[in-house]
A and B are shown apart, each in its own frame.
Chain A
Amino acid sequence: MGRAKRKPGPLARRPDNSAFKQQRLPAWSPMLTANTVLPFFYFMALICMLLGVWLLLTVQGTQEIKLDYTEAGTCDKCFEKRKNVSSAAESCICKVVFLVEKPFKGDVFFYYGLQNFHQNLRRYMDSRDDGQLVGRKSNLKEPSSYCEPFAKDQNGLPIAPCGAVANSFFNDSFTLTYYGSSGDPVKVPLLRTGITWYTDKNVKYRNPQIDNLTLAQVFEGTAKPLYWKKPVYELDPLDPTNNGFINDDLIVWMREAAFPNFKKLYGVLYHDKLFTDGLPAGNYSIDISYNFPVQYFQGRKEVVLTTLTWFGGQNYFLPIAYLVTSSLILLIAVILTVAWWKFGKKGKNMEE
């Protein structure tokens, strides 16, 4: 049309001829047909396959020993003892012996594990006071209502740390001993600190700070949790800086596990003398201070010694997942290829 210029008047309501308003934005419209999909399928299959194989090889380089000590070795008597409520307060020590056939190379991690212990129950998980754990004095004396009914003891004293999570703190302790070729027991050195997240130890958990007061004085006027034997400021008699809320074991425990069967880090092998390369092969024993009752909930207790890969512990699932996915893609790709070859090739756009 020979319109010289668009006048504002008569065509005022004429819509803009822009790509967006006319819905003509340049677009990539992928077509999900065999032609386009098959190369992608084969490519994905290959990638997954390679990754899977690589991961598998990596995982095979790890080592792991799991030891259920609930009733093992001399612990059966302790197990029986813990069944009985009346003897709950009595201490019990037992020993479990095991053999390491192949030496553990590199960093070795010592875990304790619990089975059938639901740390992930909603009410259990909520039953804590982060404000208290971060060292707020107000929360120390007046725990949050989330801690109920573990906020105050019978005397009305505030519990520190309050709540069900802290109350059920795992209180077994372990000593790992190595019987070398000479037969002499050598205590395997374990690092018992530095096993938490850095942020937990330094940000999330803090002791209440009051100038010139010792930890015990700070916690004065609070009660220890019901099931505990010693107050929170005496958790680690050996290392005074590892007491109170910033006790590593407590912090590890307070990080609630995702599943009912879980393990938690107890210590890391300290590369010293005999153990510079890891754990040598040979006989070992664990001396256990057996305190934690599990029979009420049909739970099991175990210790785990393991080395790690760059992507986690000894877990074959991930490489297998990759391999299975890869083969599935391959299978589908082959099926699609065959189907396409047989039926779909003839002029797909001429069908109508």
Chain B
Amino acid sequence: MARESEDAGIAKASKVKRQRKKKTKENKTRIVHANILYDHAKGEENPNRHYANNKIKTTKYTVLSFLPKNLFEQFHRFANVYFVFIALLNFVPVVNAFQPELALAPVVFILSVTAIKDLWEDYRRHRSDKEINHMDCLVYSRADKRYVEKYWKEVRVGDFIRLRCNEILPTDVLLLSSSDPDRLCHIETATLDGETNLKQRQVVRSFFELDCDFDPLKYNSIIECEKPNNDLNRFRGYIIHRSGRRDALYKENLLLRGCTIRNTEEAVGIVIYAGHETKAMLNNNGPRYKRSKLERQMNVDVFWCVIILLVMCLFAAVGHGLWMFQYGDKRPVFDVLSPEGTDLSPIMSAIYLLLTMIIVFQVLIPISLFVSIEIVKICQVYFIHQDMDLYDEETDSHLQCRALNITEDLGQMQYIFSDKTGTLTENKMVFRRCTVAGVEYSHDANARRLAMYQEMDSEEEECTSHGGTLPRRDSVSSHQSARVVLRSHSTKSHRRTGSRAEAKRASILSKHTAFSSPMEKDITPDPQLLNKVNECSNQMDFMRFHSQSMSQLPSDLSDIIDFFIALTICNTVVVSSPNQPRQKVWAKVPSQSPVKTIEDFIKRFTPSRLTSGSNSSSSSNSTLTKLDEEHPGSLDHAFSTVLPCYDGKACTPEEGELRYEAESPDEAALVYAARAYKCSLVGRLPDQVTVELPHLGKLNFELLHTLGFDSTRKRMSVVVRHPLTDQITVYTKGADSVIMDLIKPPDTDTAGRKRQKKIVFRTQSYLNLYAADGLRTLCIAKKILSKEEYACWLQHHLEAETSIQGREQLLFESALRLETNLHLLGATGIEDRLQDGVPETIASLRKAGLQIWVLTGDKQETAVNIAYACKLLDPEEEILTLNADSQVSSSNQNFTDSINPSSSPLSSSSFHTTPFTVHRLGLVIDGRTLAYALDKSLEDKFLAIARSCRSVLCCRSTPLQKSMVVKLVRNKLKVMTLAIGDGANDVSMIQVADVGVGISGQEGMQAVMASDFALPRFRYLQKLLLVHGHWCYSRLANMILYFFYKNAMFVALIFWYQFYCGFSGSAMIDQWYLIFFNLMFSAFPQLITGTLDKDVSAETLQQLPQLYVNGQNSEEYKPYMFWMNMIDAIYQSLICFFVPYFAYAGSDVDLFTWGTPITTLALFTILLHLGIETKTWTRMNWLSIIFSIALFFTVALCYNASCPTCYSPSNLYWTMQRLLQDPLFYLLSGVTPVAALLPRYFYRACQGTLFPSPVQVGRQLDKLPAETRRNILSLSRVKVGSPVHLKPPFLSLTKPSPKGYAKKDQRSFPTSKISQAKQMPVLQTDEEKGQRSPVGPIDSEKGLLDLYTLVPTKVDTLASTKEAPTFAREQQNPVTKDSECLDKTLESSALSLSSWITSTPLLTQADSVQLALPPHGGSQCVKYTRNSEERLSSDHTVHPVHRTEQSLHTTL
């Protein structure tokens, strides 16, 4: 440690130097030279000497600085300062109340406990630092001319280090050489961002062409780069060679500290940032400190305590002054003069007394409260950690509490803001269906396969014996074995096939490969599409064979093949095969990096090459043949039509099965989908992509550019040279909203134009359909560039690439220039499956009175449908949709005007109808509208609407908006908010909320890093909040109240005594008892109760979520309760004081012989009081109470026997011993606590008997035998859990879910038509305003048609509802009831038009009731409707009725 401090000193000195240097030389960049050039100069000359070395020190203290620094930190807490002040006050003779040394004891105790805790933590940090600092790595030594082993801490900026496979990077290293033939280095960044897929890093371009091994001695370049910063995704700089050539450096060249080298045998790099300046260390922020609501409330009451204390002290001081005054000039013998022998004036002695009283009464401000709360919270965190129910077997992870001091906030949440993807859903993308060239391929078999998985998920338990699971397990384990080969360090135990759960877990563990579960991998192709693909490739093969131009292919077929090619190559998926990691086997093709310079371009695109298509195709052919030679039979193998495995059919997994690692799961899903059509990605190099096509074999696509995905563009593109046509082709994949706008039909031929228009139109309608299904949609498009166009674009692009300033912006613009006039190929629908138990969790959280808002970046339709699936939106709800895009698009200024009139009547209407509709509304708002709603002028209105809605769904929201929404709700509504999310886009929201919860899922660790609690699964939120939150809150609330009571009661005893001792500040309770009472004698039982007490059992809490309201309304600790406790404390102290007083009145008792029984009685009373408040008595409770009493008597006896003179001024010699022989003492002990606790006991008994709170009812339920309890709970669930089903009158006014539509489509078509017609006014207004409704013209036209043909009255609606024959299977009651309700609402004049039209008046009762019927089976219902929808998919083309819903969106 001493050495450490020395080092710190050096570091500090160097820091100072660096700062000085900064002043003199304004360097905004860092310049790194190679160290070996300066070896002999021993540092002085080394230009790198000012940079931090690689020694890390995360400890806060050193041996020397520990005491002052720790004390300084502790004194930041006001309470500590206060107590030290009081302790020091004791050293002033005139005011001292206690033995000064003794008065220091509690403060010293508290401070030292905290200090020891800090010291221990710091020691652990020191240990781990030391371990890290002493790891080995290879550093090039000039003297030895080779790499020598050095400790990490000895590595300096400018050193060359050599890294071997599976080594952890010690610093941020610029990659200069790699053993990989492609000059790549793969790293795993799990420790940084939690992403377990491998990332590629490239050797700096200038070192790319080095044939031989990199020789550090020949290195003589200078690197200029950014100052150290914490942005993991940015690194800019350039390397200046001796020749003066400059090469740009990118983040792809930088290997970050903490990452692991994978799949690369050796890499050499130069250290750029070291130690604390590495990006990983700069990103490493300490834990967060939040103050919980309960603590805030507590602080208010602490403040009250201070006031009470001051009042008491003042009272005593004035009393003493008056008491002195009454004796006038003649001083009684017992009045002691000041030490100097002079008279003290009454005023002076009153002032002295005030200070004395503060010391005596200090106990009122509970010094141990803060420590106790901390201890209890640590215990609570421990128990939450230990909960088996919060442990996820699959990922072997359990809940992490990252913030230790807000556990009780979990019990007080009112609003939950949830992300959708990865939080509600699994973020496991499964390819569901696609549409190519305007033709939909529904993939029914695939859907059936997925349904099977779903079933199996639900019956997880029986799977071991289930035959059907075997093939799956096999595939998993085969996969597993592959993994093991690849990563020798990974545990072999995974290979053992055990239960299904284990296999599943193993598959998740093997998430290194991002995609491994067979559910995601094996896609059953649509036979129709498969045929077309085969046909198409056959033709192409034929054409190639006959050297015909590929462009003669029928356009629909070429679209299909292009579609799959796009799926295959337009991504960043990395291929690896288990036997041959990372395509090492490929013969080294002449290296062709992406075109980087104009010369390069000219060189590579010389007319000869460009014109002679045969040349290139022959080259690809040559590669092909070469490959054939190398892998005899591999082509045959690929060509043999092996159907991809899927469940039910045992199939042998392919030996050399390729695995895809993708940065985002949907990319991999698409690649797997393409593979199912035998269009498989077999290799990816920086400059080429190899695709295997049926009949065509392996084709090498020369990769010219990759324009990566970004959230602004919402698309990615690749520029390739098509090996068959030799055209420069751009494949673009992206969100439909952006792609659709970029589609431009060819100008030239009208047929193609018409066709394309048709395709666009159809695709759009399918896209809407997919979205309605809750699928994630992506559009695939392509564009063929002429060489001139390309050259022109390339020039700009290269300029953009090489510029250092504003490079991102330029690249962005460059990408925009490229991605225009696209040709639409098709669209895909990917399913993001809901996590287990999400609907149930949401339902029970909602029953618990929590408002759940979903904030998602997804598009509205997808989000709405997921919301229905997870029961966030109820089919019976009215949905208010706020979509302002159209208004905005017409004019930004108009928006405020238009939203105002629309939102204000609405909000007023919802206020009018609040009693009816408060639980019946769902609000859907999209990002653009949200931006306006969050505006200062509108936020109140927005909140007013949102509050009256049962659920709110914000789609298309940016991370910033998410956090703004949370902030708005939190600040304006003054509610407790919880934000839960899993991705980096949720970080801001998580940080803003009172409690941030991260899902440790697939999207990396950023959310977890920012969160207070990290959960493996969304469903664990239920137990975390309902059980642990409730417990933590009620435990802590009760403990705090008890603390206040305890201290007040104890201090009041002394206060009463002041009336009998001339307010002189003397205390009948000895200083020892006074000081240690709180700290020792009464401390343990309350800690035990605060840690272990359970007011209601976990089971009941989960089954009766209503009990959560207890915490939300802060019912355990309301402000009045503090005062009630104070009054109780006063009463009890009066009893405890006056019973002994009168019992001893007029006797010859001395002060402490009388005071000690009072102390004892107070202890008994306080402990019994705790006993009344304790709900569950475990062994620990008994033990702690017995221990407390025993401790008191032991200490008292020892203290009273130890020394007759030591503890002046008080002297209790032999008092306790005498007392224990005194019968009066026992008689007092009998009656006083009984009398003192009588009122509270009576109150509790009355409350428990006559008006039990819900929590008490819950406790009573706990006591019942299990059987009865279950019955009652099931009863109560029907009654309480679904009050909405019984009361509200708007049942018939609710909105059907799209699924409902789909079903009804089939069953009662007229009804749906009517419902459509109902919405017509809306559509009409939309049209009148000339707004572009996202639905597209068909619907509007159709809707209009319906309107004119059917113009139904509301009564008609009713009639038809009643008549609908399909409803026969439902109970008749709801229907009639509904109709009554409807009648009522019709009469109700309060119902404004706007709310009328936004609702779809016709409920498909069938659906809604059916959805509500099965008590548990939310998911089953959803599944059922989905299935039905799939069956109906063909109908949709004719009647895409559900989309009318969208037209509704424009009403606001």
* A residues neighboring B (CB under 8 Å): 1-4, 7, 9-17, 21-23, 25-35, 37, 44, 48, 51, 55, 111, 113, 117-131, 134, 136, 144-146, 148-150, 164, 167-168, 197, 199-200, 203-204, 227, 255-265, 293, 296-297, 299, 310-313, 315, 317-318, 321-322, 325, 328-329, 332, 336, 339-340, 343-344, 348-352
Contacts and interface: CB of A to CB of B under 8 A. Distances in A.
Contacts of A145: 93, 339
B493 A9 contact: yes
B1238 A265 contact: no
A6 B1061 CA distance: 70
Given A23-B383, A350-B1272, A123 B336 contact: yes
A125 B1066 contact: yes
Interface string B1236-1270: 00100110111111101010010111111000000
Contact of A124 (B336, B393, B1181): B336
B1223 A310 contact: yes
Interface string B1061-1086: 11011101000000000000000000
B630 interface: no
Given A134-B1205, A164-B336, A311-B1227, A37 B1245 contact: yes
B334 A21 contact: no
B337 A344 contact: no
Contacts of A265: 1148
B509 interface: yes
Interface string B465-491: 100000000000000000000000001
Nearest to A252: B1148
B1367 interface: no
A124 B335 contact: yes
A328 B501 CA distance: 63
A197 B1260 contact: no
B656 interface: no
B1149 interface: yes
A187 B334 CA distance: 34
B1045 interface: no
Nearest to B1147: A313
10 contacts: A27-B1094, A32-B1244, A32-B1248, A35-B1249, A48-B1231, A123-B335, A130-B1204, A164-B336, A199-B1214, A265-B1148
Given A258-B1155, A296-B327, A349 B1264 contact: yes
A235 to B, nearest CB: 18
A344 B1252 CA distance: 10
B1249 A344 contact: yes
B502 A3 contact: yes
Contact of A120 (B397, B461, B499, B1151): B1151
B1238 A332 contact: yes
Given A37-B1248, A339-B1249, 6 more contacts: A33-B1260, A146-B1209, A168-B334, A264-B1148, A318-B1143, A321-B1142
Contact of B498 (A2, A14, A255): A2
Given A27-B1178, A122-B97, A130-B1208, A22 B386 contact: yes
Given A55-B1227, A263-B1148, A351-B1252, A32 B1241 contact: yes
B1227 to A, nearest CB: 6
B67 interface: no
A318 B396 contact: no
A145 B505 CA distance: 76
Contacts of B1177: 27-30
B28 interface: no
Contacts of B1106: 352
B1272 A125 contact: no
B1204 A27 contact: no
Contacts of A203: 1204, 1213-1214
Contact of B1252 (A14, A123, A348): A348
A290 to B, nearest CB: 16
Contacts of B684: none
Contacts, number: 316
B1183 to A, nearest CB: 11
A315 B1177 CA distance: 39
A125 B1151 contact: yes
B901 interface: no
Interface string B180-214: 00000000000000000000000000000000000
Interface in B1160-1188: 1172, 1175-1181
User: Which of B339, B356, B1249, B1262 has most chain A Cβ within 10 Å?
Assistant: B1249
Chain B, interface size: which category?
Answer: 35 or more
A25 B1180 contact: yes
Contact of B1143 (A260, A321, A336, A351): A321
Nearest to B465: A2
A137 B740 CA distance: 105
A262 B1153 CA distance: 14
Given A17-B388, A258-B1154, A344-B1250, A10 B491 contact: yes
Contacts of B1348: none
B506 A120 contact: no
Interface in B645-689: none
B743 to A, nearest CB: 49
Contact of A167 (B333, B494, B1218): B333
A27 B1089 CA distance: 12
Contacts of A37: 1241, 1245, 1248-1249
A313 B1153 CA distance: 15
Closest 4 CB pairs of A and B: A148-B339, A122-B1066, A297-B332, A126-B1209
B992 to A, nearest CB: 30
A312 B1060 CA distance: 22
B84 interface: no
B336 A31 contact: no
A29 B501 CA distance: 37
A328 B1224 contact: no
Nearest to A15: B386
A125 to B, nearest CB: 6
Contact of A14 (B396, B1145, B1223): B396
B1186 to A, nearest CB: 15
A50 to B, nearest CB: 12
B927 to A, nearest CB: 39
A130 B1257 CA distance: 60
Contact of A31 (B1242, B1259, B1280): B1259
Interface in B901-940: none
Contacts of B461: 1
A57 B330 CA distance: 46
B334 A34 contact: no
B1064 A256 contact: no
Contact of A348 (B393, B1204, B1257): B1257
A122 B1064 contact: yes
B1392 interface: no
B652 to A, nearest CB: 25
A263 B1249 contact: no
A263 B1142 contact: no
B572 to A, nearest CB: 30
A66 to B, nearest CB: 9
Nearest to B1175: A29
A44 to B, nearest CB: 6
Contacts of A113: 1146
B1061 A120 contact: yes
B386 A16 contact: yes
A122 B1146 CA distance: 20
Contacts of A4: 498
Contact of A258 (B1144, B1175, B1248, B1262): B1144
A23 B1095 CA distance: 12
A22 B387 CA distance: 6
Contacts of B1263: 29, 31
A262 B1148 contact: yes
Nearest to B393: A11
A351 B1064 contact: no
B807 interface: no
Interface string B1194-1238: 000000000011001101011001100011100110110011001
